[in-house]
Amino acid sequence: MLVNCAAYEDGKKLTEIQKREIRAYLGRPGCFIWVELKDADAAELAELQDEFDLHELAVEDAHHGHQRPKIEEYGDSVFAVLHTIEVAGEELKVGEVDVFVGRNYVLSARQQTERGFQEVRARCEREPELLRHGSGYVLYALMDAVVDRYFPVLDAVETELEHLEEQIFTGKSPRENIEALYYVKQKLMTLKHAAAPLLDAASRLYGGRVPQVCAGLGEYFRDVYDHLFRLNQSIDTLRDTVTTAIQVNLAMITIGESEVTKRLAAYAALVAVPTMVAGIYGMNFKHMPELSWSFGYPLTLAVMSGIDGYLFYRFRKASWL
């Protein structure tokens, strides 16, 4: 579906155009076309491939989707794959934005993502001095918007992690804590898979030999790289925190099992003493002390109770009971 199609010249928007008018505006000096698609089918991509002379391999990647984030050069054009991440309830929804950039065109095609880039287009149109850089600046603006949208998602995951850390010591089911921590780790991996590949790709847009369409925009793409670097560091830190939290939770389980074992051992000791005494007097030998003594039975009970009382006192003092 075509979302927007407009022509720009000298940093200013000329007009909204129809797809059939694209070729006419492509021939104008200093003019570039910015087309935005949503959930484009093969026919739409093939039609625009003919208009912009897009490389067939890039079009094939955009059609099939599910590509790893990357930035590739095809002659004088650049093809970028960016992942979008949106919070949907307790889950993360991953989408994809494929961006084709040439000297006089920008084609962005987003898939499985609801939030568009209208604010990016508005931002570019408010900055005519920067938009004079042409299609390369639009590529920067799109990348910057996608990367900036990762930070609120990361903040939400961090908040969830902090809540789970508080629950570790509140007596909640350890199994539930570990499951929740594992889901947080999965979300961080989703963010990592979106951001980490772009880190290396963005570094090639501002240092050394850069694509022609990105020339003169080194400081802007370096800013995107800095954001990605900071994001990746934060993700790695949170992943380490999740690992530590899982280890602490497992340690709490071990401590709990140890407490149960100590209690069972203490109760077993309390039962063992009277069992031993009763076992001795239950051996049925003919000649045994106190068998014929009238105070033998109560004295034996008193001795067993006294020993158990002493053991109970010592176990309570040692926090075993």
Map tokens 């010592």 to a residue: 314
The pLDDT tens digits for 59-84 are 998 888 788 999 999 988 999 999 99
pLDDT of res. 268: 85
Q: For tokens 């590509």, name the residue.
A: 67
The DSSP line for 128-154 is HHHHTTTHHHHHHHHHHHHHHTHHHHH
The strand ranges marked E within 39-170 are 70-74, 77-88, 91-102, 105-111
CA dihedral (267, 268, 269, 273) positive or negative: positive
How confident is residue 230, by pLDDT bands cut at 50, 70 and 90? very high
pLDDT by residue (tens digit) across 248-267? 888 887 877 787 788 888 88
Give the position of tokens 């928007």.
13
The letter for the amino acid at 148 is: D
Q: What is the pLDDT of residue 285?
A: 65
* Range from 85-99, 256-270, 289-303 carrying the lowest mean pLDDT: 289-303
Residue 227 confidence (pLDDT)? 94
Residues 211 and 269: beta-carbon distance below 8 Å: no
Across the chain, mean pLDDT equals 87
Its pTM surpasses 0.95: no
Going along the chain from its start, the domains and CATH numbers come out as 1-132 (3.30.460.20), 149-321 (1.20.58.340)
State the pLDDT at residue 195.
Answer: 93
> Can you tell me which residue has the tokens 């497992």?
250
The 2-9 sheet, strands edge to edge: 12-16, 2-9, 31-38, 105-111, 91-102, 77-88, 70-74
Give the residue with greater pLDDT, 276 vs 143.
Answer: 143
Checking if the pLDDT of 154 tops 80, the result is yes
